Every structure is written in C-alpha cells, then in structure tokens.
C-alpha cells in the first residue's frame, strides 16, 4: 500500500512533520511504514520555460539553440531534442540546478546530476530542457510525455513561464510505502491510512466533501438489480450517469493519481481509480446500452461457462465463480474484471456504476481459479465493509458532478440484506491495565478510542465500533488499541511473577545432544538436510519396487518432484551432502545428521499423524573404514548407558555393499544398520571412486533404553590374569561367534577380551584364518589361582573346538 | 697392617671413582670395592686375624672407609646422571615449528549452535523444551490458532499439503495448542522445530527452516512481562548493551501482537549492511495469547492469560555468524561447517 503525502493531507490538513518522523510514528502506532520516496529528490531549480525562438546550432546538425522565457527573463538553452516548437512550455533546469536522472530512463543515480551553464559545441547554454525521465518520473504516469524528447506542458494547463515546474508536475510530494496487516482491511485505502495518521498525531481528520447528487429521475427506472447468490454478494449499489463527456481529468486529480503510481487515462476511468484508492472500494462502470433488459443479476456461473474479460482473454468459469449478468448474459466476473461485451468505449453515452461487496474468500478462490488477479480482486478478497460501498458510490457521483462529466440520475438501486451494524463491546479499563501491565486512566483510554471514531456509551459501559473496523471484536482487540496509542515503548518491562519453575531439555533431546557430542568427538560435522526429497531417491538406493520404504507420504503441492515425498529413509541427505563435498574435492569428510524420517502408520494417504522417527546418521569417505565406523557407533551406544553387548547381524540392504553391511542389534532388536555404500549407489551419487561408509541409528530405540545414571563399581583390588589364544579358525566362523563363546563361557571372572591379530594367507591352510585373542580374567574377591583360570579356559577351548577352531601350537 | 691397607684401598677407590667415565664404569668400581666380592669385603674377611681388642677400632675404620667410598660413588653417580640427562635432552631437540598432526573434532551446524544458545537462555529462565509434530493437522496449524478455513493468513503462508486434513506445519505455533490441550497449567515452554513453506530455494529463502516457539500461560501474565522476558532474552543473546523495540503487528493468534527489533549488534544502531542502514533488526513476532485461542483449548481467559513468541532460528544464525546465503545451511560443505 502506498500513499502520497499530498493526498493524506487532503484528509489531515494539520499534518506537519518530517517524512522520517511520520514513518516512525506511523510504524509505532501499528501502520508499518516500510519507507518513503521523495519524488523531488535531486530536483532543484527547475522552472517552466516558454520557447520564444529556435535557431539551428552553427556547428552541430543535431543541436538547436533556443531562447526561452523563464519568467521576465530570456535565456539561451541549447538542446538536442527535436520535439520542441516555438510557444511550447517546458520544464527547464537552470544553472546550479539538479535533475534526478538521464533522459534514457535508466536507474537514477543516488546523488542526482548537477546542471551548470556552459558551452555546447561553442554555443552558450544557460540550462537544460528536461525529459520526464530526467525528472525521475516516467511515461507510465505521464502518458502525454513523448517517448524520446522534452516534456511539454499541455495547452490546457495553467502554468506560465517562471513557475516552479516541480510543483506544476506534482513532483513536490513524498510517497510512503506501508505493510498493511490482513486484519486492517480499512487501511488498504488512502482514507484509512489518513485516519490512522490523524489518530497517531492526535489531529483532526476531515472526510472528503461529498455532495448530494442526482436529477429528479429515478435510477430504478433505468436499471433493475437482483442478487441470486446472497452468500457471495452482500450489497450491490447501482447508479446511472447520463450524457457522459469523456475527456481529460483536471490536473489536480491527475497529480493525485500519478503520485500514487496510477496512469491517468480519462475522466471516467480516473474517477473509478481515484475512488478505489481513496475509499478502498473498487467500482465498475458498464456502458448502459450494452446491458440487456436493463437488468443486473448477480449469480453463480455454470460449470463450463466461458467468458471474455475486457482484456480480451477467454476465461473458463464454474459454479463457484460469481458473475454479474444482464438480462441475457454475463457482463463481468464479480470483483475481478468486467467483460469485453460491456466495456466503456469512447462513444459511451450512459453509464451504469457499480459499487458492491463480495465474499472475500470466494473472490480469492475465483481469482486463483480463473487465473486473474486484478487491483480490484486484491482488495475485494480481503472482505469489504458494505457501508463503505455506498459511501464510495456517493463520492464517485459527487466527483462526476464536480467535474461536469455527466448527469447523475437521482436515486440508487441498493440491494442488500441486513447491513452490518456498529458492534458494541464492553469497555474494561481495569482488565486492560492488568492485561498490559500498565496504569492508564480510563479517560486517557477513552481519548484514544475517540481518535479512531470509537464511541463510548456511558450507560451501558460499552464501546461502539464503527463498521469499517471489522477487526475490533472483543476485549483483546480493545486492549491493543489502547496499547498502540499509549505506545508499546511506554509499556513497562517486567518479568512474570510466576512460581520459580525449573526448565530443561527433555530426555530425548539429551540423548540427541549426546549423539552430537560423540559424533563431533570422532570428527563428524553436523549437516542439515531437507525432510522431503524425490521418489527417484528410492531408485538411487536400489530399493525393490515393492520395498516398504517406497510407501512415503506425498506432498500434494510440492515445489517440484525433487521435494515431493517425505523421507522414509535418511540416507539421501547424507549421501547428497557427501557427494557435494567429494565433487568439490574436500578430503576425508565425516558428516552426521540428526533428523526425522516419516513413517506412515496406516495405508496411504495418511489421515493421522505419521511416526516421526529421529535418525542418527553417520556418513564418511576417506580415512575411515567399516571398523572405525563401528567404533563410533558402539561408543555412542555405550555412552548412552546401554550396558549390554552390541551385536551385528549380516544384512542385505540393497544400497549397501553385500559383503560389508550389518544390522546393529541390541538385546535381539535391530536398532540400526551400517556398512559400505554399494558401489552402484555411490555411483548414483557421483561418488563412484569413493568408499563411503554409513551408519544409521534409530534414536527412539536408544532413547527407550538409555540411562544417564552411572553406578560406581569398586576398583579392582586383586590382580588380573591374561591368557593369549592363538587359533586357526574356519573362514565361515565370524569373530562374533568366538566372542559369544568367550563371553558365555568366561563367566563372571571374564574381564576383557581383545582380538589382537588376524591373518590369512601363506602358512594358513586354505579356508582358514589365524586369529589371536588376549583374554583377561579377574575376580573382585580374590586373587585367581592357576586352577581357576585353567578350568575357565578349558570351557572356552571346548566351546571353540565345537566351532571347528583349533588352537595353534 | 690392615689399617694401612684400608687407607690404600680408599685412595685407590676414590681415584677410580674420579676416573669413571660413565655410569657403567662407575658401577664396575662399586662392584670392585664394595660389592659382595669387592676388596673391602675381602678385608672384612681378614678381621678374624685381627686382635680381639683391636677389632672394634678396625671395624669402625672399615665402615668409615666403606661409607666414604659409597658417598663418593653416589656423588659421582648423581653427577654422571645429570650429565647423561643433559646429553639426552640435547640430542632429543626437535623442530617445534614442524606442522601439527591434525586432531580434528567435528563441528556443530550453525543452526544447532544458535539453537543451543537460545535453549540455554530460556532454560535458564525456567522454560521447558518440548517438541511437536512436523507433519501436522490443519486444526493445530491453523484453526486452533484463530486462522479459520477462509482466512487470508492461510494463503500468506504457502502451505505444503499432504491432503485436506494433514499438512507440513508452516509454524511451530501448533505446539502451543498441543501443550495447552494437555491441561497442565501453568505453562512455560519453548518448542524448537522444523517448519515448511512453499518458498523456492534462494539466498534468503528455503522451503524448510526452523522456528522456536515460546509460550507462557499463568494467572498473572501481562504484556509488560512479555516485553521484559524478550528484552532479557535479547540482551543475553546479543549482549547487555542491546536495545529492543516493540512494534505493533498482527498475528491471528495473539492480540495485542508485536514484532520485536533489536538494535543492530554489528553497528550498535549506527546503521550498516546487516541492518540495511536502519540500526534495527527484526528478530521475532510475539503477543498476548488471543482469548479465543485459550477458549478453544478449554482455558478460561478470565482466569488465565499468556504470551507467546516465535523466533526464526535461521534468521538468528545468519545474522550472528554473518552467513550471506541460506543455501549454505543445507549444502553441508565441510569447508563451511569447519568455520563453526
């Protein structure tokens, strides 16, 4: 929303402050002003000049030498422009003056351009005649300016030589830009913002002068209006204007429109634009002779209807689109755009004016469905005040008469059900003070309300809310009005007087913190990846067509297929990130991520919450192998207080190397998996040359079992005894099988066991491997005797033999 | 005479000690004189030939001689040991300027670091940290927050939908409702989490980002308390000299609502590229929980009041660490992560 200062001052004549002061005050009272632009920035010493004579330049074909009258004085100006004639009135910047930009309309230099008297090809020039672009404006709002040449004031304008050209063009203005919040529909208008300005500075607000209009005929004799779909159209005000004389608008109106960035077109169009800006109420004008049966019917279109809007585009309609129809056909899409069939042309004689209110949500949907968002629909979709529609119609007709554009027919055709009434809400000053933590007097509060036209009914103790303030509905709203005029900055700052509560992280997040700590301790850095990805990920991960991971939640309106499903497996993120690093030649990269996967609990599409499972994902390439990764995994699991032995089951996940992967198991439950990424998956992620290791731990499994309550066990008092076991082991026997034997049979006195050598090759029979363990025993109660050790070792050896293992001599 | 012999032994021993070149030869001297088969031991063996009345005197002389030799040996050993140490240390001199062997621990993501800092501040003020679902129901993301079906705010947020009922949450504010519905009052919580909006990826937008929601519900809570709480937070996060400014704003689920700006922590309010010359940086939205929202959660707005706030995590992280492109946060380039 933008408002020119001159237009605000039409309503608030006493407003008198610096632009920056205005910006701050408006922002602090709730109309967030995002900035302002002075239209006369870098414009200096520019006057209206009349061209008295034109001579060719003696030494340059493309230049002419003009004598110009700048008000009681004639000076010589040389120009290269070819569009000026003797008698033309033009803006001219004089010696020592300044213009905003070049004539090409390119970006305006911050510091402007200084103009000095000088010689052009040897001929003296006391200044420069200006194109509209040099004045920082454009042909968008000055359609009468030539495409390439000096701006020439129209013959009708009442400027004379020596006048301030900046003022004459209406460039002596400042335009403010606001962010209007969706609750303040009334502020999408110059009048609404002006009303806020008056309240902010506590000065008088003047409504525009609206004359009683109309001849002694009756509008209802010209037009009949009926609303069939009253849920979508709550008011329709129609008036008729006869004998229209299309022409230019007066300069004052053009200036207002231009400063708001609107191109003046003709008096009729300008009035509708003017009123739309001023009142925030879009209006529409139909050529009355095109309205069949002198009848307007507001009703839903039928599915499959087609309609040509006045921009010449054929639009497909359906039964949720509201149309304005005449006796035979649609003449407009309600609140969006009129039809080609009823548009105003230059030979228009009589006009039907429409000011209506429509269901905002429906307009929003229509505009989206029809694929057309107009200035009008952007306002209508906010849901407008029915009373404002009537007021805007009156203002428009008043302007018609004031400007002498036509003859307004008396009376209105005004169709509506019950109109909104002023709401009454209780005035609760004490509660407001308690709510805000303030101590504002009741009188002061009422003074604030009076500024925004909220009246107080002493008898009932109620505030009476004008209908344009659709957002003021109850206690909290009334307290906000008090707060913003009292000043948010003046409200004290205190801390809640609550019972001292102890805060903290939930257990789940503590376990996640531990995971991060362990990961970073081992050199893994934390990555953040997207929760949604492409279904093609499943192919990159080589998942079977019927793999359960493919049953992912789908986003119905994704940004694209790459962001279309919620991940069910966390590897894509880490592999993509590793790939980015690998292809940027970063060496030895270790990354981890802690984020959710989303597992539907029911068949798709889901109708209830999915299972959001936090996954701890580790990924690495470079100086890490399977066993390094395993060390990190186990360190985390044990640090989380899981005391039992982590075990591994050979797994067959398609995205992992078939010989280098395992499920990570705890107490018989799979709590994660790890392995080397399958070369084909690595290749799919552009890492064909890397050996990539990943581990995934399902955090809920850990959180369920985790504990941060260590218990101290006495330090060993008695010595430990170690024995080495050197074995020849069939290749099919896995280390974990040997571990199991040692653990089971070592019993209570087993303190530790460690594989310290493994060897395959020469000296070892084909199909076998050599493995050597150190097994350590200790009894917390006594020194172990050779017999104690001997009997345990015997049990272990027997167990090992049962696996086909032989002790090496 | 045995006494002459002892004196001669002593002289010889002292000479040998003085001449010993190293700890090994010194040990040889010790063995030769005071060892089990050393000369002094041999002398003692000759004591049986000494007259009875002479024995105590001779014995004392033998002990004295041995003490003298041992003392000399010890002194010599200490000296030799010291020399040996000096020699070893000299030999072991290294070039301390050779490069370090890399010992790298990993790096936390800037988002996580910023989040930790925020959490610590609020935990210190007695807030509990809770989490809410990322795939959310329309009711919690919109309706219960005073954003009914045809509310324009619903369009403004560019929601990703799963279907009519389920969506990806566009804000963490739904956790307010989940907490209030638990029916346990008072409430003092923050809820960090991932949110989603249909914004194309660019330097300042991401379809997925993070918010931290805050909610306090108690019998006596006021807008002044909201201001005080958030001012305290801002000073803790950005430094004690930070100023805050509350501007009126609109959120459907709070009333009055505000946006909070902090004085630019880079230029201290003078105006710089971080604050776009304004001296202030907008960092959060907040307000008093709308009575209608309380009612929908079965909390009586005449008995209880509350305030809520929502902070954009990335906004804080980007500003604090001077990161100029949001895409860096999701690329996970190690050269980026190593800087945190």
Dmax of chain A from CA atoms?
Answer: 129
Same domain, B208 and B274: yes
Residues of A in contact with B223 (CB under 8 A): 435-438, 483, 491
Instruction: Give the per-residue pLDDT at A773.
Output: 93
User: Nearest residue on chain A to B208, judged by CA atoms?
Assistant: A530
B209: closest CA of chain A, how far (Å): 9
For residue B28, what pLDDT is reported? 87
DSSP summary character for residue A48: E
Last residue of a domain, one of B91, B124, B140: B91
Q: State whether B76 and B119 are in the same domain.
A: no
DSSP E strand stretches across A168-242: 174-179, 224-227, 233-242
**In the predicted model, what is the mean pLDDT of residues B166-172?**
94
Cα distance from B277 to chain A (closest Cα, Å)? Answer: 12
Shared domain for B188 and B275, answered yes or no, is yes
Question: Can you give the length of chain B in residues?
Answer: 340
The reply to whether B87 and B135 lie within a common domain is: no
Q: How would you classify the pairing of strands A525-526 and A589-599? A: parallel
Return the pLDDT at B51.
79
Distance CA A137, CA A175 (A): 13
Size (chain A), residues:
809
**B330 lies in the same domain as B183:** yes
According to CATH, what is the number of the domain A2-39+174-201?
3.30.56.10
The ranges assigned to domains in chain A are: 2-39+174-201, 44-168, 219-416, 425-490, 507-705, 721-807
Neighbours of A531 (CB within 10 A): 22
pLDDT digits (tens, 9 = 90+) for A742-785: 999 998 899 999 999 999 888 888 889 999 999 999 998 889 99
Check residue A807 and give its pLDDT: 85
Q: Is residue B103 part of a domain?
A: no
Q: Which pLDDT score is estimated for B164?
A: 78
What distance in Å separates residue B279's CA from the closest CA in chain A? 13
- Let me know the angle formed at the C-alpha of A773 by A767 and A776, rounded to the nearest 5 degrees: 155
pLDDT of residue B39: 82
Query: What chain A residue is nearest to B209 in terms of C-alpha separation?
Result: A530
Mutation choice for A interface testing from B255, B285, B335 by most A CBs within 10 A: B255
- Show residues of chain B in contact with A553, CB under 8 Å: 135, 162, 166
CB contacts under 8 A, B 297-336 vs A, are 305, 329-335
Domain termination residue (choose one: B61, B91, B121): B91
Based on the domain organization, do B143 and B6 belong to the same domain? no
Residues B76 and B204 in one domain: no
Q: Are residues A553 and B162, on separate chains, in Cβ contact within 8 Å?
A: yes
Residue A669 — φ and ψ, nearest 5°?
-110, 140
Domain presence at residue B96: no
* A607–B165 CB contact, under 8 Å: yes
Please check whether residue B11 lies inside any domain of the structure: yes
In a domain, residue B105? The reply is no
Assess whether B321 and B243 both reside in one domain: yes
Residue A144's pLDDT band (boundaries 50, 70, 90)? confident
Report whether B281 contacts B275 (CB < 8 A): yes
The reply to whether residue B131 touches residue A506, judged by beta carbons under 8 angstroms, is: yes
B68 & B19 share domain: yes
Looking at the domain assignment, is residue B98 inside a domain? no
Q: What is the mean pLDDT of chain B?
A: 89
Over residues A83-139, the pLDDT tens digits come to 999 999 999 999 999 999 888 878 888 889 999 998 988 899 999 999 999 999 988
For B:219-278, CB contacts with A below 8 A are 220-225, 227-229, 231-232, 245-250, 252, 255-258
Query: Among B303, B299, B300, B323, which Cα is nearest to B313's?
Result: B323
Q: Which fold has domain A219-416?
A: Phenylalanyl-tRNA Synthetase; Chain B, domain 3 (3.50.40)
- pLDDT tens for each residue of A539-584: 999 999 999 999 999 999 898 999 999 999 999 999 999 999 999 9
Percentage of chain A with pLDDT > 90?
A: 81
Contact call for residues B290 and B255 (beta carbons, < 8 A):
yes
Q: Could B221 and A492 be called an inter-chain contact, meaning their C-beta atoms sit closer than 8 Å?
A: no
**CA A599 from centre of chain:** 29
- The listed range with the strongest mean pLDDT (A244-253, A693-702, B61-70, B258-267) is A693-702
Nearest to A69 by CA among A87, A56, A46, A57: A87
Tell me: do B15 and B145 sit in the same domain.
no
Q: How do residues A286-315 score in pLDDT, each as one tens digit?
A: 999 999 999 999 999 999 999 999 899 999
CB contact under 8 A, B223 and A483: yes
**DSSP 8-class letter at A504:** B
What local confidence, expressed as pLDDT, does residue B207 receive? 93
Domain extent for B182: 110-337
Residue A791 has pLDDT above 80, yes or no: yes
What value does the mean pLDDT take over residues B56-70?
A: 84
Q: What is the pLDDT of residues A38-86, one digit of tens each?
A: 999 999 999 999 999 999 999 888 899 999 999 989 999 999 888 999 9
Report whether B126 contacts A500 (CB < 8 A).
yes
In a domain, residue B219? The reply is yes
With pLDDT > 90 as the criterion, what percentage of chain B qualifies? 57
Summarised one tens digit per residue, pLDDT across range B185-230 is 999 999 999 999 988 888 888 999 999 999 999 999 999 999 999 9
pLDDT at B152: 66
The pLDDT of residue A150 is 93
Interatomic CA distance for residues A82 and A152, integer angstroms: 12
pLDDT of residue B102: 81
CATH architecture of A44-168: Beta Barrel (2.40)
Residue B64 lies inside a defined structural domain of this protein: yes
A44-168 and A721-807: same fold? Answer: no
- What confidence category does residue A500 fall into, taking pLDDT thresholds of 50, 70 and 90? low
Assigned domain for B102 exists: no
CA B225 to CA B230: how far, in whole Å? 8
Tokens, residue A253: 């109106």
Task: Name residues 202-221 of chain B within 8 A of A (Cβ).
Answer: 207-208, 216, 218, 220-221
Q: What is the pLDDT of residues A336-362, one digit of tens each?
A: 999 988 888 888 999 999 999 999 999
Distance from CA of A500 to the nearest CA of B (A): 7
Q: How far is A322 from chain B (nearest CA, A)?
A: 17
Examine the pLDDT at A499 and tell me if it is beyond 70.
no
Give chain B positions within 8 Å (CB) of A27. 247
Tell me, yes or no, whether B170 and B315 share the same domain: yes
The CATH class, in words, for A507-705 is: alpha beta
What Cα–Cα distance (Å) separates residue A97 from each residue in A46, A93, B302? Answer: 7, 6, 65
Mean pLDDT of A644-664: 94
Q: How many CB pairs under 8 A join A and B?
A: 257
Residues 92-121 of B with CB under 8 A from A: 104-109, 111-112, 119
**What confidence tier does A647 reach under pLDDT thresholds 50, 70, 90?**
very high
A532-536, A719-723, B201-205: lowest mean pLDDT where? Answer: B201-205
Share of chain A above pLDDT 70, in %: 100
Asked if pLDDT for residue B123 goes beyond 80, the answer is: yes
> Would you state the pLDDT for residue B156?
60
Task: State whether B82 and B217 are in the same domain.
Answer: no
Q: Does B35 touch chain A (CB under 8 A)?
A: no
**Could you tell me the pLDDT band of residue B157, with boundaries at 50, 70 and 90?**
low
Q: How far is CA A235 from the centre of its chain?
A: 33
pLDDT at B35 over 90: no
B332:A584 CB<8 A: no
Identify the architecture of domain A425-490 in CATH.
2-Layer Sandwich (3.30)
Give the whole-angstrom CA distance, residue A227 versus residue A218.
20
pLDDT band at B155 (very low <50, low <70, confident <90, very high): low
Q: What is the pLDDT of residues A449-497, one digit of tens each?
A: 999 999 999 999 999 999 999 999 999 999 999 999 999 999 999 998 8
- The number of helix segments (H) and strand segments (E) in chain A equals 20, 39
pLDDT tens track for A210-254: 999 999 999 999 999 999 999 999 999 999 999 999 999 998 999
pLDDT tens digit string along B250-304?
999 999 999 999 998 888 878 888 788 888 999 999 999 999 999 999 999 999 9
List the CATH number of the domain containing B266.
3.30.930.10
Cβ <8 Å between B216 and A523? no
Average pLDDT estimate for B110-133: 95
User: Residue A809 has what pLDDT?
Assistant: 57
pLDDT per residue as tens digits for the range A606-622: 888 999 999 999 999 99
pLDDT on residue B1 = 62
CATH number of A721-807: 3.30.70.380
Residue B153: the pLDDT is: 64
List the single residue in B106, B245, B332 with the smallest CB-CB distance to A523.
B106
As a three-state string, the secondary structure of B47-106 is: HHHCCCCCHHHHHHHHHHHHHHHHHHHHHHHHHHHHHHHHHHHHHCCCCCCCCCCCCCCC
Distance from CA of B324 to the nearest CA of A (A): 17
Q: State the total domains in chain B.
A: 2
- For residue B248, what is the nearest residue in chain A, using CA coordinates? A30
Whether A609 and B137 lie within 8 Å, measured CB to CB: yes
CB-CB under 8 Å, A525 with B106: yes
């Amino acid at each position: 929303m933008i408002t020119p200062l001159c237009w605000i001052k039409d309503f608030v004549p006493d407003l008198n402050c610096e632009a920056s002061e205005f910006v701050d005050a408006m922002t602090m009272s709730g109309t967030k002003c995002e900035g302002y632009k002075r239209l006369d920035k870098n414009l200096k010493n520019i006057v209206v000049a009349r061209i008295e004579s034109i001579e060719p330049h003696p030494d340059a074909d493309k230049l002419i030498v003009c004598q110009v009258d700048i008000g009681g004085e004639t000076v010589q100006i040389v120009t290269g422009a070819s569009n000026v004639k003797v008698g033309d009135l033009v803006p001219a910047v004089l010696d020592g003056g300044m213009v905003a930009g070049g004539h090409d309309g390119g970006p305006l230099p911050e510091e402007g351009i200084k103009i000095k008297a000088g010689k052009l090809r040897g001929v003296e020039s006391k200044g420069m005649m200006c194109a509209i672009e040099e004045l920082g404006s454009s042909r968008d709002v000055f359609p009468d300016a030539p495409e390439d040449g000096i701006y020439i004031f129209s013959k009708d304008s009442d400027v004379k030589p020596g006048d301030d050209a900046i003022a004459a063009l209406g460039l002596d203005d400042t335009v403010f830009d606001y962010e209007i919040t969706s609750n303040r529909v009334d502020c999408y208008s110059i009048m609404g913002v002006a009303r806020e300005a008056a309240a902010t500075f506590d000065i008088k607000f003047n409504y525009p002068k609206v004359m009683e209009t109309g001849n002694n005929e009756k509008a209802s004799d010209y037009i009949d209006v009926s609303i069939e779909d009253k849920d979508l159209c709550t008011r329709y005000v129609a008036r008729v204007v006869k004998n229209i004389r299309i022409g230019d608008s007066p300069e004052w109106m053009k200036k207002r429109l231009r400063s708001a960035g609107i191109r003046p077109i003709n008096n009729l169009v300008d009035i509708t634009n003017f009123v739309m800006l001023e009142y925030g109420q879009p209006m529409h004008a139909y050529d009355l002779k095109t309205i069949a049966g002198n009848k307007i019917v507001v009703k839903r279109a039928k599915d499959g209807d087609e309609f040509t809007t006045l921009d010449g585009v054929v639009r497909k309609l359906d039964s949720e689109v509201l149309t304005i129809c005449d006796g035979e056909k649609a003449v407009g899409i309600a609140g969006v755009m009129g039809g080609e069939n009823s548009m105003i042309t230059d030979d228009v004689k009589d006009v039907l004016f429409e000011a209506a209110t429509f269901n905002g949500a429906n307009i929003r949907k229509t505009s989206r469905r029809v694929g057309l968002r107009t200035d009008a629909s952007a306002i209508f979709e906010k849901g407008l005040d029915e009373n404002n529609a009537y007021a805007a119609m009156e203002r428009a007709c008043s302007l018609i008469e004031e400007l002498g554009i036509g003859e307004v027919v008396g009376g209105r055709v005004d169709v509506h059900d019950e109109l909104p009434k002023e709401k009454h809400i209780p005035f609760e000053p004490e509660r407001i003070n308690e709510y805000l933590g303030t101590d504002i007097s009741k009188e002061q509060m009422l003074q604030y309300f009076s500024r925004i036209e909220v009246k107080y009914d002493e008898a009932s103790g109620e505030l009476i809310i004008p209908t344009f303030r659709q957002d003021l509905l109850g206690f909290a709203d009334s307290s906000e009005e008090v707060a913003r005029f009292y000043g948010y900055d003046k409200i004290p700052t205190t801390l809640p007087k609550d019972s001292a509560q102890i805060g903290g992280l939930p257990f789940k997040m503590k376990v996640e913190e531990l995971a991060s700590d362990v990961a970073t301790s081992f050199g893994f850095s934390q990555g953040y990846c997207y929760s949604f990805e492409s279904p093609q990920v499943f192919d990159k991960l080589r998942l079977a067509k019927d793999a359960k991971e493919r049953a992912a939640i789908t986003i119905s309106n994704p940004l694209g297929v790459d962001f279309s499903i919620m991940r069910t497996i966390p590897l894509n993120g880490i592999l993509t990130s590793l790939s980015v690093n690998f292809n940027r030649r970063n060496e030895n990269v270790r990354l981890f991520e802690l984020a959710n996967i989303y597992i539907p609990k029911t068949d798709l599409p889901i109708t209830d919450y999915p299972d959001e499972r936090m996954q701890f994902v580790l990924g690495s390439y470079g100086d890490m192998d399977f066993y390094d990764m395993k060390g990190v995994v186990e360190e985390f699991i044990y640090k989380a207080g899981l005391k039992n032995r982590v075990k591994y089951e050979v797994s067959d996940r398609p995205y992992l190397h078939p010989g280098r992967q395992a499920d990570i198991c705890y107490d018989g439950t799979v709590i994660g998996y790890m392995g080397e990424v399958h070369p084909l998956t690595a290749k799919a992620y552009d890492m064909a040359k890397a050996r990539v290791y990943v581990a995934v731990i399902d955090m809920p499994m850990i959180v369920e079992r985790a504990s941060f309550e260590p218990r101290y066990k006495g330090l060993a008092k008695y010595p430990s005894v170690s024995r080495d076991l050197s074995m020849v082991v069939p290749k099919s026997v896995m280390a974990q099988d040997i571990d199991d034997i040692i653990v089971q049979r070592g019993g209570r006195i087993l303190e530790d066991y460690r594989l310290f050598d493994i060897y395959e090759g020469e000296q070892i029979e084909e199909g076998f491997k050599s493995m050597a363990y150190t097994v350590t025993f200790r009894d917390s109660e006594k020194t172990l005797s050779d017999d104690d050790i001997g009997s345990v070792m015997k049990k272990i050896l027997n167990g090992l033999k049962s696996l086909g293992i032989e002790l090496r001599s | 005479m045995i006494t002459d012999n002892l004196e001669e032994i002593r002289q010889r021993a002292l000479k040998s000690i003085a001449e010993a070149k190293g700890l090994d030869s010194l040990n040889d001297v010790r063995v030769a004189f005071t060892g089990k088969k050393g000369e002094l031991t041999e002398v003692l063996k000759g004591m049986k030939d000494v007259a009875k009345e002479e024995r105590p005197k001779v014995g004392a002389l033998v002990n004295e001689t041995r003490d003298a030799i041992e003392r000399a040996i010890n002194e010599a050993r200490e000296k030799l040991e010291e020399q040996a140490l000096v020699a070893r240390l000299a030999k072991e001199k290294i070039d301390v300027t050779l490069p370090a062997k890399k010992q790298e621990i990993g790096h936390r993501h800037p988002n996580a670091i910023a989040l930790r800092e925020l959490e610590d501040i609020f935990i210190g003020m007695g807030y509990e940290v809770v989490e809410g679902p990322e795939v959310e129901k329309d009711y919690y993301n919109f309706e219960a927050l005073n954003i009914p079906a045809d509310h324009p705010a619903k369009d403004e947020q560019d929601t990703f939908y799963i279907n009519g009922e389920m969506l990806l949450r566009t804000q963490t504010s739904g956790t307010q409702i989940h907490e209030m519905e638990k029916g346990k009052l008072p409430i003092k919580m923050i809820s960090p989490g991932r949110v989603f909006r249909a914004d194309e990826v660019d330097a300042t937008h991401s379809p997925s980002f993070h918010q931290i929601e805050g909610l306090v519900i108690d019998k006596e809570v006021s807008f002044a308390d909201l201001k005080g709480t958030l001012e305290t937070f801002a000073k803790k996060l950005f430094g004690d000299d930070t100023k805050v400014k509350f501007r009126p704003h609109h959120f459907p689920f709070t009333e009055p609502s505000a946006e909070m700006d902090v004085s630019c922590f880079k230029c201290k309010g003078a105006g710089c590229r971080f604050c776009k010359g304004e001296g202030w940086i907008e960092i959060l939205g907040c307000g008093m929980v709308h009575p209608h929202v309380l009612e929908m959660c079965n909390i009586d707005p005449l008995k209880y009041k509350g305030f809520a706030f929502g902070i954009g995590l990335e906004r804080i992280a980007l500003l604090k660490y001077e990161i100029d492109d949001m895409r860096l946060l999701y690329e996970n380039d190690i050269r980026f992560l190593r800087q945190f």
